[in-house]
């Protein structure tokens, strides 16, 4: 079976940047399993896996715009340092992931710079702007079951008929 919409795919992978920096790998772990065409992977990787079959081994390059996007310098914000409170005795350091409140709800950001009275935070994904190189090995491709295709949700109400 070829990888197509709603196929369950299991694969091993390793991902690096063009500079050779290792980002992630499934080596020594269970393979990554996902459903094709449901947005579970970055768009460029999903697109390049389309049509491949069990046994495919190869290198796939995903450009930044089809991965985590290009860096957006307008996603850098300067905030007053007084607005940051220490949680769990964590020290405010460059690279720290922080949750901020926006008018659309909580957003994640990374501390980019710490000044005397201000903190500069970056709302870009840490891999934004990077072209990514994937070494993949497809080890299984099969049709998804009806159960696997059901939207995931939690029921806290006894009247739910899921």
Q: pLDDT tens-digit profile of 69-80? A: 999 999 999 999
Question: Where does residue 115 rank: exposed (0-12), middle (13-18), buried (19+ CB within 10 A)?
Answer: exposed
Q: Are residues 64 and 144 in the same domain?
A: yes
3-state helix, strand, coil in the chain (%, to 5): 10, 40, 50
User: Does residue 19 contact residue 129 with C-beta atoms inside 8 Å?
Assistant: no
CA 62 – CA 69 distance, rounded (Å): 11
Q: Are residues 64 and 131 in the same domain?
A: yes
CA 84 – CA 75 distance, rounded (Å): 18
Q: Is residue 26 part of a domain?
A: yes
CA 109 – CA 120 distance, rounded (Å): 10
pLDDT of residue 86: 62
User: Does residue 55 contact residue 11 with C-beta atoms inside 8 Å?
Assistant: no
Residues 6+ apart with CB under 8 A from 48: 60, 62
Convert the pLDDT of each residue in 37-83 to its tens digit: 999 999 999 999 999 999 999 999 999 999 999 999 999 999 998 88
pLDDT of residue 1: 95
Q: Is residue 40 part of a domain?
A: yes
Q: Is residue 101 part of a domain?
A: yes
pLDDT of residue 101: 86
Q: Is residue 61 part of a domain?
A: yes
CA 162 – CA 151 distance, rounded (Å): 10
Q: What is the domain range of residue 57?
A: 7-68+127-149
Residues of the chain with pLDDT under 70: 86-90, 152-162
Q: Is residue 161 part of a domain?
A: no
Give the CATH number for residue 138: 3.10.50.40
Q: Are residues 85 and 106 in the same domain?
A: yes
CA 158 – CA 155 distance, rounded (Å): 8
pLDDT of residue 90: 66
CA 134 – CA 115 distance, rounded (Å): 37
Domains held by the chain: number: 2
Parallel, antiparallel or unpaired: strands 76-80 and 118-122: antiparallel
pLDDT of residue 158: 54
User: Does residue 8 contact residue 140 with C-beta atoms inside 8 Å?
Assistant: yes
Q: Is residue 156 part of a domain?
A: no
pLDDT of residue 153: 57
């Amino acid at each position: 079976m070829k990888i197509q919409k709603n196929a369950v795919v299991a694969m091993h992978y390793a991902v690096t940047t063009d500079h050779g920096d290792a980002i992630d790998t499934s080596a020594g772990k269970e393979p990554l399993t996902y459903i094709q065409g449901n947005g579970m992977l970055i768009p460029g990787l999903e697109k390049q896996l389309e049509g491949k079959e069990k046994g495919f081994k190869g290198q796939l390059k995903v450009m930044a715009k089809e991965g985590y996007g290009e860096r957006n310098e307008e996603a850098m914000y300067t905030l007053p340092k007084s607005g940051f409170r220490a949680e769990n005795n964590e020290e405010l350091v460059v690279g720290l992931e922080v949750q901020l409140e926006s008018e659309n709800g909580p957003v994640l950001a990374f501390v980019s710079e710490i000044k005397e009275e201000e903190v500069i935070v970056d709302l870009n994904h840490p891999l934004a702007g990077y072209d990514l190189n994937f070494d993949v090995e497809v080890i299984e491709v099969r049709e998804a079951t009806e159960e696997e295709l059901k939207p995931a949700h939690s029921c806290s109400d006894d009247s739910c008929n899921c």
